[in-house]
């Protein structure tokens, strides 16, 4: 039976940062984005408000900024190696993130079978963010279920990788999970925990787990 590996993006595949912070860095607005990340992580704001405020912050955003943020971000090492082996084994890998889809979806070029993020308007922005398209922790589970159906696997065949409260719901529904550079709240829910900057080492913990 094939397995489905589900990866979070911010703080998981990206080390110590989020894609909105990396995008905002290109605009000289890193501090503002960090403040928004802290607000959502502590529950002061919900994902729809976060998305709306980030969109306001990015009034001058262009595709060149997004590309530069993606290329310059502090990714964990060997992401593509992990996804290549997953594919070679006949398994599947997907990214599910609350971050903007226009950033998350770029990871399909690295070997992810699928990549889902919150739906944002096209860059440069001429429209507001539709709150209905903004993902949440619960939405990650719904997307995972859709991917299971698409790939012909079940929740019992899934492995989840994450770092924060947005991953709690998903960790609670799959049998194998890896807390990657995570806080203690999530580490306590995971079957495995990894601290470091190499995705292969995190993957190695569950490479043969069932």
User: Which candidate, 182, 185, 205, 203, places its Cα nearest to that of 6?
Assistant: 203
Q: What is the CATH number of the domain that holds 115?
A: 3.40.50.1000
Residues 151-202 have pLDDT tens digits of 999 999 999 999 988 999 999 999 999 999 998 778 889 999 999 999 999 9
Q: Is residue 68 part of a domain?
A: no
Q: Is residue 175 part of a domain?
A: yes
Residue 98 has pLDDT above 70, yes or no: yes
Question: Residue 96: in which H helix or E strand, if any?
Answer: strand 92-100
For the record, the structure tokens of 192 come out as: 């495995």
The predicted structure's pLDDT at residue 210: 62
Q: Is residue 210 part of a domain?
A: no
Q: Is residue 197 part of a domain?
A: yes
Q: Is residue 42 part of a domain?
A: no
Q: Is residue 26 part of a domain?
A: no
Give the single-character DSSP code of 123: S
Domain count, the chain: 1
Distances (CA, A) of 139 to 114, 116, 145: 15, 10, 10
Q: What is the mean pLDDT of the chain?
A: 95
pTM higher than 0.85: yes
Q: Tell me the residue range of the domain where 121 lies.
A: 4-15+75-204
The predicted structure's pLDDT at residue 208: 83
Phi and psi based region of residue 16 (left: phi greater than 0; alpha: psi -120 to 50; beta: remaining): left
Q: Is residue 128 part of a domain?
A: yes
Residues 58-77 have pLDDT tens digits of 999 999 999 999 999 999 99
Distances (CA, A) of 94 to 118, 123, 153: 15, 24, 13
Where residue 41 falls among pLDDT bands split at 50, 70, 90? Answer: confident
Q: Is residue 133 part of a domain?
A: yes
């Amino acid at each position: 039976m094939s397995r489905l590996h589900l990866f979070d993006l911010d703080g998981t595949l990206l080390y110590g940062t989020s894609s909105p912070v990396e995008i905002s860095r290109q605009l000289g607005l890193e501090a503002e984005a960090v403040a928004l990340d802290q607000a959502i992580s502590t529950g002061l704001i919900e994902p729809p408000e976060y998305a709306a405020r980030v969109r306001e912050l990015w009034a001058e955003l262009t595709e060149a900024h997004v590309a530069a943020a993606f290329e310059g971000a502090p990714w964990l090492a060997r992401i593509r190696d992990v996804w290549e082996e997953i594919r070679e084994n006949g398994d599947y890998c997907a990214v599910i993130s609350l971050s903007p889809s226009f950033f998350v979806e770029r990871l399909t070029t690295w070997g992810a079978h699928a990549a889902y993020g919150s739906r944002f308007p096209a860059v440069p922005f001429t429209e507001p963010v539709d709150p209905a398209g903004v993902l949440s922790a619960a939405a990650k589970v719904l997307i995972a279920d859709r991917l299971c159906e698409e790939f012909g696997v079940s929740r019992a065949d899934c492995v989840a990788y994450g770092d924060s409260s947005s991953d709690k719901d998903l960790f609670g529904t799959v049998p194998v999970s890896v807390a990657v550079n995570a806080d203690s709240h999530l580490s306590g829910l995971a079957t495995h925990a990894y601290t470091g900057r190499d995705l292969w080492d995190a993957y190695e913990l569950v490479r043969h787990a069932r």
